[in-house]
């Protein structure tokens, strides 16, 4: 999850005109494809089929040992739809994703814009700081977060107490308050997502033809107007890309929530991913967990379809 | 691109006081968690757990690193991680390169469908694969094995690796190959002397990506490797806290520093490539 910009690499290099690959029909491409194809069939395609199949069974912990389970038709799905916890988790996932994406994109865009206004030394400093935050593995950053927000010893609590705006926060337990647990995870995700977004948008901004901005200024447009009418439309394709990728990643966030709050307090931060994991691997209701995963995947595939349609529209040559 | 960059730099007012102030504030906030991790890693326990935090260790110590690395489980865990990461990188790059060559140097029926399939697979949530892969691996005895973990990671990394290397293959004009062929080069020579050097950066990019994905993964390893001597580094690191003794934050931060270091170094080296890669499409006129 930390090497996102390469996705951009692959996307943009696809924009190059095709250098007329060889046309003679041959079996060579199929031989070349078969090892990768075999791996993807056995470890991706087959499991997905199996996942859908499992979601129609009552696979449980016992089945893991005995291998016996029964077809239950749509019962796992209807049970989920009757379960208020499912709807809460779904709503949580959607709202949380929206909040994380909005926060990351807003800060990322601002930082990209900031980078264009900095002299070389300062720009390099900001870039290095961004790369440091970006490179931190999520396990490491989640553990650091837990430490930063530790009641009694956490430096964030201390800083906030010193600032005096919210009173004495020394013993505030972030993981034990639904809103604060969300807030700290939101901060963690935004902290880690901004670098990719900022650097990608900055790379796009360096390509902005200055003639356009100058022309707008000559026509008497103010700085905000220039940004809104010239810069923003120019950034739109890149913004769309990073927004869609962020939606997909943030909807799927697991590590950070699991390690920081484990879905608590009292399942207040239990998003769909956490809910599915708990159902399948803690309660060992594997059939039900499979149904949850199918639903989550369907939502993400719908978003992915949007993404691919977007690629095709932008002239990507597949 | 350099030309354009230079022009754009000349076009904007640079280093305004306000911009610099915002940049400094941003840097302070954004670097703080990293700084706090390193700061804590070098503090003796008595200085880490204080109600008034110390912004620099008074008596810096390596004891946290010692404690982390000298845990009997550390080397075993590191070894597990290295094997799994090595296997993932090797498979992802070799298989990815074959597939990318097929998809970029040949036109054949079904090519477009395969490209779309790869894109879809790349976007599939890893968590969707977790349950069925767990069940299948449980059945065939791959749970808790290196091979199982490597396979699971390769499945995640492969689409991306194909996608990246395909870009590099496409960038090599067929004319170069044709010219070499006219000059009498054999297919092997063309591959070895022309194609491989030109796609080498793509292999490096995919290896680094595969390395980082496998090195950082927590969820799959946490689910598949249940015995302590099967843990990989991220699982080991997260398991530092036990309900009985509580969390050893100094040790955990020291472990986090050690664990993050290779990734940070990679990112710092390839950062410019990553960013210029993103804009490459726009540069090309």
Q: What digits encode the pLDDT tens for the residues A261-306?
A: 888 888 889 999 999 999 999 999 999 999 999 999 899 888 878 7
Average pLDDT of the segment spanning B31-47:
93
CA A77 to chain centre: 26
DSSP per residue over B161-219, as a string?
HHHHHHHHHHHS-HHHHHHHHHTT--HHHIIIIIIHHHHHHHHHHHHHHHHHHHHH--H
Average of per-residue pLDDT values in chain A? 86
Nearest to A18 by CA among B116, B106, B277: B106
Q: What is the ipTM of this complex?
A: 0.85
Chain A: closest CA distance from residue B66 (Å) = 18
Question: What is the pLDDT at residue B10?
Answer: 43
Q: Is the pLDDT of residue A84 over 50?
A: yes
Asked if the model's pLDDT at residue A1 lies above 60, the reply is no
Q: Which residues of chain B does A280 touch, with a Cβ-Cβ cutoff of 8 Å?
A: 130-131, 134
In chain B, how many H helices and how many E strands?
14, 0
* Partner-chain contact A3 B213, CB within 8 Å: yes
Instruction: Residue B217: name the closest of B238, B242, B203 by CA.
Output: B238
Of A227 and B51, which is predicted with more confidence? Answer: A227
The residues that bridge with B106 in the sheet, in sequence order, are A22
Least confident of A177-186, B85-94, B160-169: B160-169
- Which among A43, A210, A308 is the top mutation candidate for probing chain B, defined by the most B β-carbons within 10 Å of its own β-carbon? A43
- Please tell me the distance from the alpha carbon of residue B23 to that of residue B70, in angstroms, as a whole number: 40
CB A265 within 8 Å of CB A281: no
Is residue B30 within 8 A of residue A194, CB to CB? The reply is: yes
Residue B7: is its pLDDT beyond 60? Answer: no
In DSSP terms, B246 is beta-bridged to B242
Is the pLDDT confidence value at A213 over 70?
A: yes
Q: Tell me the C-alpha to C-alpha distance, in Å, between residue A119 and each of A112, A195, B17, B98, B225.
A: 14, 19, 11, 44, 49
Chain B CB contacts of A136 under 8 Å are: 33-34, 260, 263-264
Give A29's contacts in chain B (Cβ within 8 Å).
102-103, 105-106, 108, 111
Asked if B40 contacts B53 with a C-beta cutoff of 8 angstroms, the reply is no
Across residues A207-236, what is the average pLDDT? 87
A25: alpha, beta or left? (left if phi > 0; alpha if psi -120 to 50): beta
Distance from CA of B194 to the nearest CA of A (A): 16
Q: What is the pLDDT of residue B283?
A: 28
Indicate the pLDDT class of residue B202, thresholds 50, 70 and 90: confident
Helix or strand run (H / E) with residue A224: helix A223-226
Chain A residue closest to B26 (CA)? A126
What's the predicted TM-score (pTM) here? 0.87
- State whether residue A102 sits within 8 Å of chain B by CB: no
Do the chains contact at B237 and A140, CB–CB below 8 Å?
yes
Is the separation of the CB atoms in A151 and A172 below 8 Å? yes
In chain A, residues with a C-beta closer than 8 Å to the C-beta of B209 are: 3, 6
DSSP state of A17: P
Comparing CB atoms, the residue among A11, A35, A252 nearest residue B127 is A252
Contact B27 A12 (CB under 8 A): no
Cα–Cα distance between B16 and A117 in angstroms, integer?
7
- A50 near B CB under 8 A: yes
Per-residue exposure over A241-252, b if at least 16 CB sit within 10 Å of its own CB, e if not: bbbbbbbbbbbb
Q: Which of B53, B114, B119, B132 to mutate to test the interface with A (most CBs of A within 10 A)?
A: B132
Given a cut of 80, whether residue B25 has pLDDT beyond it is yes
Q: What is the pLDDT of residues B212-243, one digit of tens each?
A: 999 999 999 999 998 888 999 999 998 876 55
Whether the CB-CB separation of A181 and A189 falls below 8 Å is answered with no
Cβ separation B170–A138 shorter than 8 A? no
Give me the pLDDT at residue B48, please: 82
């Amino acid at each position: 999850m930390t090497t996102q910009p390469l996705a951009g690499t692959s996307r943009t290099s696809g924009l190059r005109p095709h250098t007329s690959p060889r046309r003679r029909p041959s079996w060579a491409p199929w031989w070349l494809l078969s090892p990768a194809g075999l791996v993807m069939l056995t470890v991706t395609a087959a499991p997905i089929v199996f996942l859908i199949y499992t979601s129609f069974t009552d696979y449980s912990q016992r089945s893991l040992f005995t291998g016996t389970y029964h077809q239950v038709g749509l019962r796992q799905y209807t049970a989920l739809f009757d379960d208020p916890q499912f709807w809460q988790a779904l709503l949580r996932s959607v709202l949380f994703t929206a909040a994380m994406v909005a926060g990351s994109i807003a800060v990322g865009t601002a930082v990209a814009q900031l980078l264009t206004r900095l002299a070389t030394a300062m720009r390099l400093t900001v870039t290095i700081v961004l790369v440091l935050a970006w490179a931190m593995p999520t396990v490491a950053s989640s553990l650091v977060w837990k430490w930063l927000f530790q009641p009694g010893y956490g430096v964030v609590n201390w800083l906030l107490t010193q600032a005096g705006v919210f009173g004495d926060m020394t013993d505030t337990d972030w993981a034990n308050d639904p809103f604060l647990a969300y807030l700290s995870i939101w901060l963690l995700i935004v902290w880690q997502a901004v670098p990719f977004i900022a650097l990608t948008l900055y790379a796009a901004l360096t390509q902005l033809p200055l003639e356009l901005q100058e022309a707008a200024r000559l026509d008497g447009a103010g700085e905000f107007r220039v940004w809104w009418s010239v810069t923003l439309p120019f950034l739109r394709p890149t913004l769309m890309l990073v927004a869609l990728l962020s939606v997909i990643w943030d909807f799927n966030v697991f590590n950070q929530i699991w390690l920081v709050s484990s879905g608590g307090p009292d399942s207040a931060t239990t998003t769909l991913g956490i809910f599915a994991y708990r159902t399948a691997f803690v309660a060992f209701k594997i059939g039900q967990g499979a149904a949850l995963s199918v639903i989550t995947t369907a939502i993400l595939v719908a978003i992915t379809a949007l993404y691919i349609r977007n690629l095709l529209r932008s002239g990507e040559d597949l | 691109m350099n030309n354009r960059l230079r022009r754009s730099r000349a076009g904007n007012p640079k280093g305004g006081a306000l911009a610099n102030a915002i940049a400094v504030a941003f840097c302070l906030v954004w670097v703080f968690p990293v700084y706090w991790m390193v700061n804590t890693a070098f503090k003796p326990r008595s200085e880490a757990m204080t109600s008034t935090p110390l912004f620099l260790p008074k008596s810096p110590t390596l004891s946290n690193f010692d404690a982390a690395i000298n845990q009997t489980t550390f080397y075993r865990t590191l070894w597990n991680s290295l094997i799994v990461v090595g296997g993932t990188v090797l498979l992802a790059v070799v298989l990815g390169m074959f597939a990318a060559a097929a998809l970029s140097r040949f036109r054949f029926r079904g090519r477009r469908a395969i490209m779309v399939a790869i894109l879809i697979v790349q976007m599939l949530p890893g968590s969707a694969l977790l349950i069925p892969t767990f069940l299948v691996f449980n059945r065939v005895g791959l749970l808790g094995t290196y091979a199982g973990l490597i396979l699971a990671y390769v499945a995640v990394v492969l689409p991306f690796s194909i996608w990246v290397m395909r870009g590099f293959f496409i960038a090599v004009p067929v004319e170069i190959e044709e010219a070499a062929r006219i000059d009498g080069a054999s297919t092997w020579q063309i591959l070895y002397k022309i194609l491989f050097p030109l796609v080498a950066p793509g292999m490096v990019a995919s290896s680094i990506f595969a390395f980082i994905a496998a090195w950082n993964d927590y969820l799959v390893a946490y689910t598949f490797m249940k015995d302590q001597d099967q843990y990989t580094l991220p699982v080991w690191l997260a398991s530092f806290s036990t309900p009985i003794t509580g969390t050893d934050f100094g040790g955990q931060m020291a472990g986090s520093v050690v664990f993050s270091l290779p990734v940070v170094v990679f990112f710092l080296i390839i950062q410019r490539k990553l960013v210029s890669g993103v804009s490459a499409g726009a540069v090309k006129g």
